[in-house]
A and B are shown apart, each in its own frame.
Chain A
Amino acid sequence: MRRRWRDVPAAAALLAPSAALLGVFVVYPLARAILLGTRKCNVSGRVCKTVGWHQYVTVWRSAPFQNALGNTLRFVAMTVPIGLVLGVGLAVLADKQLRGIGVFRTIFSSTIASSVAVASLIWLVLLNPQIGLLSHLLKDAFPVVKKPGLLNDGGTAMWGVAISSIWAGLGLTFVIVTAALQSVPRELYESAFVDGAGAWRRFTNVTLPMLSPTLLFVAVVMTARAFQTYGEIDLLTGGGPNSAGRPTETIAYLIYGKSSKIRNDIGIQSATAVLLFVLLLVVSFIQFRVLERRVHYAE
């Protein structure tokens, strides 16, 4: 016991650098934001008064927050499953020993090098109802792309944002899943092949279980990113179209978006941000608990 006490100063000294960094950049701002969430401020943000913890309840129940929460969940439900399926599909397709496969791998992973801003601008042009190539190609199958435009229709605007976001995230999913695929022992496939398993059975009995830890990781990361989507919304719709009652305003956009209603109240903004943080914490926790039971980690 005495010995332990003697170690305390040394331990404290060794911990100090990381403790200081964490404290200054994580713990203090978080605590500050939680406290700010109990205050209400005027437009300049200089005059604030404490209104109490029930402001969190008020914000949660408010119409803008409920709208943004619904939009965020819808966006997550659109982007995560589709992005995951496409990423795994492309990775499996490219996981062949074929001549020139490197070209496809490069193409499939290329979106990793484009920022959200670049991706959004590409899709903004592609989906433009007047000059967009996609709008032109799809105008017969989906008239909405020309009139009023995919991003200008309240019912489809979120799909437009989701497509851009899925595309931008595909490269990362592809690279991670490809790396995981390459670590699956070839003999497992060969053994299943000799045992008479067809391509689909090999995929469900070998590929998917061996990928499951990676897929859990990718799903959690993608969900966390989708919950915090801001750039795509800002560049593609600005939370609008306004005529349809802000159908693409996500929680992150509600917190800081140019046209957000709460933009000028730092107290309510903080409360919303803290609520988003808690929401993400809960969702990630559930994902780990639920999915982990179905995940196989190799011994």
Chain B
Amino acid sequence: MARVRLEHVTKTFGSGGGEVRAVDDVSLDIADHEFMILLGPSGCGKSTLLRMIAGLETPTSGDVFIDERRVNDVLPKERDVAMVFQSYALYPHKTVAANIEFPLKARGVGKAERAEQGRQAAAMLGLDTLLDRKPGQLSGGQRQRVALARAIVRHPAVFCMDEPLSNLDAKMRSETRAELVELHHRLNSTFVYVTHDQVEAMTMGTQVAVLSDGRLQQVGTPQEVYAAPATAFVAQFIGTPPMNVLPPGVLGGDSVRVGFRPEDARLVSPTAPDDGTTLPVTVRLVEQLGHEVLVFVDCDGARLVVRQPAGSGVPAIADPVRLSVGEGVRHHFDATTGERVG
């Protein structure tokens, strides 16, 4: 049970000319039992933000609250947080059981109770039969579960996870995504999860906070962020493939950039009458994905992508066609600030 609140948090590294502003005036309210995803490209400051919540970094300015308690100067162990690292950070010389029990040992929990709670955490993640192994004898997915078991063993109020799935193969990753969601339902904890993978953000998060260059771009449910991106950056970061954003002046005024989702546009015959909603484009690449087709086209030097269901007429490469973008599916962004204007 914990609400995490960041108020005007800034973190800089280095000083003088070499100063780097990793996190720039971020305010974020994470409700109790939320599954909050911190999403952004590498170097956007999301990991630094997470480390400030966990207590591994101290904010340069601003405050971090956990349940109304200001924790800027509180040691991690007194914050009731657990952290899962991208590298898992398992102790290679300890058995799986000893790894899982370590947080309890560090807190002076007795041996028998430690073993009991360790077994429970291991059982929850299906590690029962691996307790005597060393991490070196486990697969990537198993190691990842041990790291999770070690995090849940002491029932922390807040779970911090720093890209915990990026070292897994694609199949394992999608399996573990579902398990993490289930784990979040079962545990009464707040999850804060860092990733650069928008698929993870869309599938697991109850809330998504998108960051870029240390600044918070948008906070909302995955659906909100997808349906109404607050900036052109968010629009182009979320979705596979992401939103097309046209250069200023195309389909709109000179101060506006028009964006549209790949699935919201259609390719039409070049001889179709121009009613002001179509653009002349040239087909550059066609990707057959089985259930759908991605058509990449050039429009005045801009590369756009259109998603079509499989089976519909697919144009050939170098074909001149027209791209139809209905009024209702357009997003408008300010050409200079990138902010949504309608």
A residues engaging B (CB < 8 A)? 185, 187-188, 190-198, 201, 205-206, 209-210, 212, 296, 298-299
Contact = CB atoms under 8 A, between A and B. Distances in A.
Contact of B102 (A195, A198, A210, A299): A195
Contacts of B102: 192, 195, 197, 205
Contacts, number: 63
B89 A188 contact: yes
A187 B47 CA distance: 13
B54 A299 contact: no
Q: Which 4 pairs of residues, A with B, have the shortest CB-CB distance?
A: A299-B136, A196-B77, A296-B93, A187-B89
B106 A196 contact: yes
Interface in B83-109: 83, 85, 87, 89, 91-94, 102-103, 106-107
A188 B102 CA distance: 12
A210 to B, nearest CB: 8
Contact of A205 (B81, B82, B87, B91): B91
19 contacts: A185-B87, A188-B91, A190-B85, A192-B102, A193-B76, A193-B77, A194-B82, A195-B103, A195-B106, A195-B150, A196-B76, A196-B103, A196-B106, A197-B106, A205-B91, A296-B92, A296-B93, A298-B92, A299-B136
Nearest to B87: A187
A185 B135 CA distance: 15
B318 interface: no
Contact of B93 (A194, A197, A201, A209): A209
Contacts of A185: 87, 89
B92 A201 contact: no
Given A185-B89, A209-B93, A296-B93, A190 B83 contact: yes
B55 interface: yes
Contacts of B82: 194-195
Interface-centre pick from A187, A201, A298 (highest chain B CB count, 10 A): A187
Interface string B160-176: 10000000000000000
B56 interface: yes
A200 to B, nearest CB: 11
A201 B89 CA distance: 16
B92 A190 contact: no
Interface-centre pick from A185, A187, A192, A194 (highest chain B CB count, 10 A): A194
A188 B93 CA distance: 12
A201 B91 contact: no
Given A185-B87, A195-B106, 6 more contacts: A190-B56, A193-B76, A194-B77, A194-B83, A209-B92, A210-B92
A198 B102 CA distance: 12
A194 B92 contact: no
Contacts of B106: 192, 195-198, 201
A196 B83 contact: no
Nearest to B160: A194
B89 A190 contact: yes
A192 to B, nearest CB: 7
Nearest to B103: A195
Nearest to A294: B93
Interface-centre pick from A185, A191, A206, A212 (highest chain B CB count, 10 A): A191
Contact of A191 (B89, B135, B136): B89
A194 B56 contact: yes
B105 to A, nearest CB: 8
A155 B163 CA distance: 62
A185 B88 CA distance: 11
A64 B134 CA distance: 51
A187 B91 contact: no
A203 to B, nearest CB: 13
A191 B93 contact: no
A299 to B, nearest CB: 3
Interface in B156-207: 160
B2 to A, nearest CB: 15
B145 to A, nearest CB: 15
A187 B103 CA distance: 15
Contacts of A193: 56, 76-77
A194 B91 CA distance: 14
Contacts of A206: 91
Interface in B38-86: 54-56, 76-77, 81-83, 85
B92 A299 contact: yes
Interface-centre pick from A190, A192, A196 (highest chain B CB count, 10 A): A196
B92 A191 contact: no
Contacts of B81: 194
Contacts of A192: 102, 106
Contacts of B83: 190-191, 194
A99 to B, nearest CB: 11
A188 B77 CA distance: 15
A195 B136 CA distance: 21
Contacts of A190: 56, 83, 85, 89
A82 B70 CA distance: 45
Contacts of A210: 92-93
B243 to A, nearest CB: 35
Contacts of B107: 196
Contact of A194 (B55, B87, B136): B55
B91 A209 contact: yes
A191 to B, nearest CB: 4
Nearest to B51: A190
